[in-house]
Structure 1
Amino acid sequence: MDRPNADEEEAAAAAAPAMAQAAAPGALERLLHKATDPCNPEENWECIQKISDQVNADANGPTTALRLLEHKIQSPQEAEALRALNVLEMCVNNCGENFHHEMGKFRFLNGLIKVLSPKYLGEWSTDRVKSRIVEVMFSWTVWFPQEVKIRDAYQMLKKQGIVKQDPKLVEDKVLPPPSPRPASSIFDADGEKSKLLTRLLKSKNPEDLQAANKLIKALMKEEQAKSAKVSRRMNAIKEAHSCAEALEEMLSGCQAREGAAIPKPALEVLQGVFAKGEKLKPLMFRVASETVEDEEALAEILQANDRLTQVLRLYEQRLGPSRDSADTTGTIPPVTIYERNGLKAMLHFARDPVSSCPATRVLVLSLLSTSPSPVQHIVFQAAVPKSMAIKLQPATGSELPAFNPLSAPAVISQVLLLANPDKAPLRLRYRLLFSQDDQAHSEVGEVTDFPHADLWGGS
């Protein structure tokens, strides 16, 4: 079987002198010999636990452990190979991202592939060992989609007919118990689940160990969902900045032409980027609704959204709205709640509720100024009836500079979380405080014309 192309780092590591493997056995190697000894009548869980602790304690632990495990998995003794695979799964459960990244490199994956491939060790490897390797690799494609080389290697095995079909993952298979994790781990995030898991893992009852395995998988699925949210957020922020930067550069080029007509090809490209920016706005609100518990991450979203909003308004200011940009299906029209003294305040509505609290809706307040004077000391306050609750997240700023028709207007954003468990008619009273031309302003108002519940969040 052809070896997948590895990056330079992996190639260099693969070509390292064999003397490293001939070094005197260390603590990790001794533990692994003991844990995989085929003469043991049953799994040595205490020894397996120590292996994960040792891997976590050593900066080179993941690399060393995987090199040793590769040799054990290739053992001609079925019992030794199967126990090595159990140790491997235990390390996957316990040893974090560094271990996952190392196991997702071709230099380790090729060691597993050799056991399966008839060109290498597959002729004499037992069916039980090969089945377990296929099951392990398939489970990694499910749990660690970010490790793309695992997926590539598995798909290559399928393409070459070595893997005939995806295995059915066994839900009640007893996995090695996890070792203590960092405080930030999902296994400690829920106090009750953490206590239950600890109790189940200490039990000698096989049914309790099966229940612990299912709980571990459920917690890993929760962590995977969180990772997916983080990925969506980072991609949305990156796209918003990229789109804003492209529009800024193109609009700057238009300004340099001193009012000359924009060539049709350039105009079409400009309109396309503007349309993409318009479609990004509802995505920004969606990821904001998923991130309300993390104020630092929420601030990053709002900053990217502010930049995007500024440059989209600059486009409309210079060229007018694009006829092709309207997408009546991720946009809910904003409600203007205040527009005087050159200051405009609008409420935008996210379609999706807060994932952890379906009765809570996300609103984003946008403040813009067309005033020739700076607007300073801006504070927005809000109140709702007693049957509801509202929480205001920190705003992205408190000042708006004087309006400049040649640059994108500044924007201040602020997220409002509105809970309405009784689904009562929505009402919101607000006070907008600001100073302008050395004069203090205190403006009050009430908002009742919220979007229909079926359109906004489906409450």
Structure 2
Amino acid sequence: LARLLKSSHPEDLRAANKLIKEMVQEDQKRMEKISKRVNAIEEVNNNVRLLTEMVTSYSKGETTESNEDLMKELYQRCERMRPMLFRLASDTEDNDEALAEILQANDNLTQVINLYKQLVRGEEINGETVAGPLRGSTSALLDLSGLDLPATGPSYPALPTLSGGSAVPVPDQAGSVSLLDDELMSLGLNDPAPHPAQAGDSSGWNSFQSSDSTELSITPITATPPVKAEAGASSPKPSPFTSGLDDLDLLGKTLLQQSLPPESQQVRWEKQQPPPRLTLRDLQNRSSSAGSTAVPPRPPATALPQEISLANITVPLESIKPSSILPVTVYDQHGFRVLFHFAKDALPERPDVLVVVISMLSTAPQPIRNIVFQSAVPKVMKVKLQPPSGTELPAFNPIVHPSAITQVLLLANPQKEKVRLRYKLTFTMGEQTYNEMGDVDQFPPPESWGNL
């Protein structure tokens, strides 16, 4: 933004004005989200506090009808607030404190709803007829995520004790996980999800291979050994924890799929691809399969042909003989030209490799610095760029013979497909930095490589 504001070009000033407007709009949206979250949490806490006080003092047969109607209205209002808290939690990013407040409010809301069902309606919640204490740092969602966050919500009145002065029992962890299942069910996450059709790539251009990329090895993650089942168990039953993982995986994958652009618009460079991350469900599957009975292995699939690498091939510039084919102009703007010269002969041990010499010339009145040329091809091919002879070109002088930068490019095409190369050229001329991109498809037919 500072560079655009200092520029004297009208286009840069318009771009700076647009960028400032976008920054202001983003800040307004962020403040609206914060205000909405604060108001929602305050409303939840007020309703929880009021309903807790009324349920605590409730006595069947003695409470007036108006108070019972008010409790019922508060209960229904609390039920409607649960999906709202889930949406707030999904919209809260990179703010652990705000997320902890939302989760604490959700826990208090869930427990006061269960308290109303037990004391007023007489329903059983997880086999208990009386709810546990409302206060404390134990949380249904926090138990699952493993966080140890202190309770930040307001204080509430103490809940009643059982007859005889005994303390009210605290729900166990299974009950906490069941609370999570209730939350997910309120959003309809337990419904069967449709199986999306897997779209096949009609072209290899959905994935490019960078010329200076390196192969990355993915280190397998060792899951913790599963806990053995009790000896008296007759048959395995799906646990609420497994059900919660299924629903969380479905929710996470859905949100991730919505945030990604369409598959046909993705161009991926190998060096920018992070290793795939395992989901909670994948780790659970690995953990459960480690202790299960061994099953017969599936028959191995047909082995794919091993990808041919160019890592160990280097061609000296002085050993290259030019062909009779005219050079291809790749870039010609701002007094800067980039040409492709094709070698006459192929490599003896690799007839599928085309040797290209890149020439960079300058007729600009200013020196050109920080010249970087990058290339990418479809994944059925392989490309390698050897180090260039330089990264700077002096200002053009008509009296002195112009200098040039040369760089050797190796292109492997074992399947003899039509070549289409995408390049990225960056350089600095004066105080201006340029980032240029384009495609080159004027290559000799693959059948004629080695005899040009």
TM norm structure 2: 0.33
Which structure is higher in RCO with an 8 Å CA cutoff and minimum separation 6? Answer: 2
Richer in helix (by share) = 1
Mark the structure with the bigger radius of gyration: 2
TM norm structure 1: 0.33
